[in-house]
Amino acid sequence: MSDFPYVYHWNRMGRKGQRCRVTARGGMNSAAVEFEDGFTAVTSRNALRKAPSPQWRLVSPAPRVAVLDLAGAGARVRRLVLAQARNTAAVQTVAIYCGDDCMAVVYFGRHGWRRTEMALSIAPAARQHMRRLVRMAQLTLFAMAETHLIVARIRSNNHAGQRMAMLVGFHAHGNFEPGVWILRKGRHECDPESRRRCQESGGRTEGPAGGGE
């Protein structure tokens, strides 16, 4: 939720259309408000409107600034993700935005005619939007799984990433090397064998998912 959830609607004080928040409520339908630049005023609550919810959008290829913002501080990782973002012939990148904030960057790499490997960089702020991100992933990846085998690599100690993968519909696959999760057409429901493999690989976790790899 935004720290400034209201928009000043009246054409007064040169503040029309600016974001603000209510710091106190008084009598006669009045309220003390604070704007984003720190300016404060007392006004009628009739002057306030709920700010519109930020729009979700996909940008492909992902802007390099978004790729680097979510890559972390490690120089090696930053060089790697930047090289992947530049290699548009082999790697497709998609940035997921909520308003002006990048929530995640998804990488799709083709391996052969059928296998697609997926990697994900996710922002800490995306934690509160995890349900929406999971649903967006399902709508996108289920369609891709009609013709491709979607593969993700998740470290055994990345419990949040494993939980998010399970919510989307991935399954831990023991026939590949450890840490490989797959999404196949017609297998979007976790079967008992997949659950057992997930538990053996450390996929059990408590609490909400905070991100993935």
The tens-digit pLDDT sequence of the chain (213 residues) is: 468 889 999 998 999 999 999 999 999 999 999 999 999 999 999 999 998 888 899 999 999 899 999 988 888 888 888 888 888 888 999 999 998 889 999 999 988 778 899 988 899 888 888 899 999 999 889 988 888 889 998 888 888 888 888 999 998 876 656 788 998 765 444 444 544 554 554 444 333 333 343
Q: Which fold has domain 56-200?
A: Aminopeptidase (3.40.630)
Pairing type for strands 115-122 and 149-153 reads parallel
Can you give the residue ranges of every domain in the chain? 6-50, 56-200
Task: Return the amino acid letter for 119.
Answer: A
Sheet holding 48-50, edge to edge: 40-44, 30-35, 19-25, 6-8, 48-50
User: Is residue 169 within 8 Å of residue 184, measured between CB atoms?
Assistant: no
Q: Which residue has the tokens 């998804």?
A: 106
Residues with Cβ within 8 Å of residue 158, at least 6 apart in sequence: 212, 213
Residues 6+ apart with CB under 8 A from 40: 23, 32, 33, 34
Q: Please, which contacts does 112-119 make with residues 24 or more away whose CB atoms are closer than 8 Å?
A: 114/147, 114/148, 114/149, 115/148, 115/149, 115/151, 116/144, 116/148, 116/149, 116/150, 116/151, 117/151, 117/152, 117/153, 118/150, 118/151, 118/152, 119/152, 119/153, 119/213
What pTM was estimated for this model as a whole?
Answer: 0.65
Would you identify the CATH topology of the domain 6-50?
SH3 type barrels. (2.30.30)
Q: Return the SS3 of 163.
A: helix
